């Protein structure tokens, strides 16, 4: 009897608390949402396949123009924005090219510009030392005092470890085949279990990168478990297949990404106010050569300068009057960091980028 009574009391307490918390949250709801962001990069994906689907039908063994990301197209057309489309006869609203913020179209300088918002002049290879530039992660942890557990990266390629943070190196991460860092052993156990699988199931056609499916599985689990302020997932399979001249393999990675993106959107829908406050930004570190030069990317292949970005602002962000895509005749990698900051409710950092643009600007504008 006594036991029963305390159970009832506990139930009342729960109901009361629940009402109290949600009431309080409703009162405190800010007009300009302070949001969360999921950043995703797909290594070495051309704007051509993003906006016009299958390009080389013979190599692909299927019809030219078949969409590789049909669900993403629908979602972005309805609720988001795309950048980097140069054609009038394909999907998307803006028609301005987007270009890298370095001179050589390789990965490390590309990722450096994405995360720090600078035009990368010095780093011209993939073996540069740790970034000397403040990144968006540095800002979150050192300036905004965000709990390092709310700032997490899951990456298939270890190169990114030198790009993430200039400073603290305290943000959570699982990079390629390294150990999970930043969590207690108990917290990291489910991620270690996925990594154990990844370690016995390594790609055999190329060395040194984790299959993207494991990176996604970990990132997705982290999203549900920790509700991060900033979650970064770095996928590399498109570039790996492309270097192997495997066009069907490269195309398949985009189809995989289409279904992963849908999973993320569905998960956010099931996460209540956190989900309604979370935006997704997708981009690439560099493009690739034109036509049959698709396996290559570097300064010699001009088309590898062209990149793209997809932005899905959070549900709360979309409710703001006057939200629109920024208009310009050209967008750059250095515009990504200000976009991430804007979507997290932060004033975009004023960074002198050193490139053609004086400084980056958010791809999303609110009037």
The dihedral through the CA atoms of 271, 277, 283, 285 has a sign that is: negative
Q: Which stretch binds Zn ion (CB under 5 A): 25-33, 36-44, 155-163, 183-191?
A: 36-44
Nearer to Zn ion, 84 or 287 (CB): 287
Number of residues that bind Zn ion (CB under 5 A): 2
Q: What 3 state SS string does 127-140 have?
A: CCCCCCCCCHHHHH
Q: Which stretch binds Zn ion (CB under 5 A): 39-47, 57-65, 266-274, 306-314?
A: 39-47
Which H or E run contains 233? strand 230-235
Nearer to Zn ion, 44 or 355 (CB): 44
Nearest residue to Zn ion, by Cβ distance, number only: 239
Distances from the Cα of 96 to the Cαs of 34, 252, 271, 299, in angstroms?
29, 27, 34, 21
Distance in Å, CB of 62 to Zn ion, minimum: 24
Q: Rounded to an integer, what distance in angstroms lies between the CA atom of residue 56 and that of residue 294?
A: 10
Nearer to Zn ion, 67 or 108 (CB): 108
Q: Which stretch binds Zn ion (CB under 5 A): 154-162, 235-243, 257-265, 310-318?
A: 235-243
Distance in Å, CB of 252 to Zn ion, minimum: 17
Q: Name the DSSP class of 92.
A: -
User: How many C-beta neighbours within 10 Å does residue 207 have?
Assistant: 8
Distance in Å, CB of 264 to Zn ion, minimum: 25
Task: Look at the block and give the residue holding tokens 């996925």.
Answer: 194
Q: Rounded to an integer, what distance in angstroms lies between the CA atom of residue 3 and that of residue 22?
A: 29
Distance in Å, CB of 239 to Zn ion, minimum: 4
Distance in Å, CB of 47 to Zn ion, minimum: 16
- Which of 49, 239, 315, 335 is close enough to bind Zn ion by CB under 5 A? 239
Nearer to Zn ion, 176 or 239 (CB): 239
Between helices 212-226 and 185-200, what is the axis angle to 10°? 160
Strand-pair partners of 41: 234, 283
Q: Does 303 bind Zn ion (CB under 5 A)?
A: no
Distance in Å, CB of 44 to Zn ion, minimum: 5
Nearer to Zn ion, 275 or 295 (CB): 295
Distance in Å, CB of 287 to Zn ion, minimum: 11
Distances from the Cα of 272 to the Cαs of 19, 224, 254, 257, in angstroms?
15, 11, 28, 24
User: For Zn ion, what does the binding mask look like between residues 41 and 60, x meaning CB under 5 A?
Assistant: ---x----------------
Which H or E run contains 98? strand 98-99
Nearer to Zn ion, 50 or 223 (CB): 50
Q: Which residues bind Zn ion (CB under 5 A)?
A: 44, 239
């Amino acid at each position: 009897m006594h036991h029963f009574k305390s159970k009832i009391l506990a139930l009342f307490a729960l109901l009361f608390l629940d009402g109290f918390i949600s009431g309080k949250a409703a009162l405190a709801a800010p007009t300009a949402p302070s949001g969360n962001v999921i950043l995703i990069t797909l290594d070495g994906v051309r704007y051509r396949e993003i906006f016009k689907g299958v390009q080389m039908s013979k190599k692909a063994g299927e019809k030219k123009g078949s969409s590789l990301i049909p669900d993403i197209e629908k979602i972005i057309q309805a609720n988001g924005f795309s950048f980097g489309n140069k054609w009038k006869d394909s999907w998307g609203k803006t028609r301005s090219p987007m270009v890298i913020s370095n001179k050589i179209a390789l990965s490390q300088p590309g990722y450096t510009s994405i995360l720090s918002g600078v035009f990368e002049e010095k780093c011209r290879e993939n073996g540069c030392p740790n970034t000397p530039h403040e990144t968006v992660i540095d800002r979150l942890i050192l300036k905004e005092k965000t709990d390092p557990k709310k700032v997490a990266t899951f990456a298939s390629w270890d190169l990114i470890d030198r790009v993430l943070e200039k400073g603290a190196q305290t943000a959570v991460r699982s990079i390629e085949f390294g150990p999970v860092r930043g969590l207690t052993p108990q917290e990291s156990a489910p991620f270690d279990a996925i990594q154990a699988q990844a370690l016995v199931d390594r790609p055999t056609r190329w060395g040194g990168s984790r299959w993207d499916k494991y990176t996604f599985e970990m990132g997705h689990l982290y999203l549900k478990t920790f509700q991060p302020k900033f979650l970064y997932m770095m996928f590399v399979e498109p570039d790996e297949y492309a270097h192997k001249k495997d066009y069907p393999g490269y195309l398949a990675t985009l189809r995989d990404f289409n279904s992963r993106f849908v999973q993320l959107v569905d998960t956010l829908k099931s996460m209540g106010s956190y989900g309604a406050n979370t935006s997704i930004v997708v981009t690439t570190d560099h493009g690739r050569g034109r036509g049959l030069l698709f396996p290559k990317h570097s300064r010699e292949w001009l088309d590898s300068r062209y990149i793209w970005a997809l932005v899905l602002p959070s549900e709360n962000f979309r409710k703001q009057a006057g939200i629109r895509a920024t208009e310009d005749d050209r967008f750059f990698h250095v515009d990504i960091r200000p976009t991430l900051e804007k979507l997290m409710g932060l004033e975009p950092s004023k960074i002198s980028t050193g490139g053609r643009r004086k400084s980056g600007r958010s791809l999303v504008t609110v009037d």
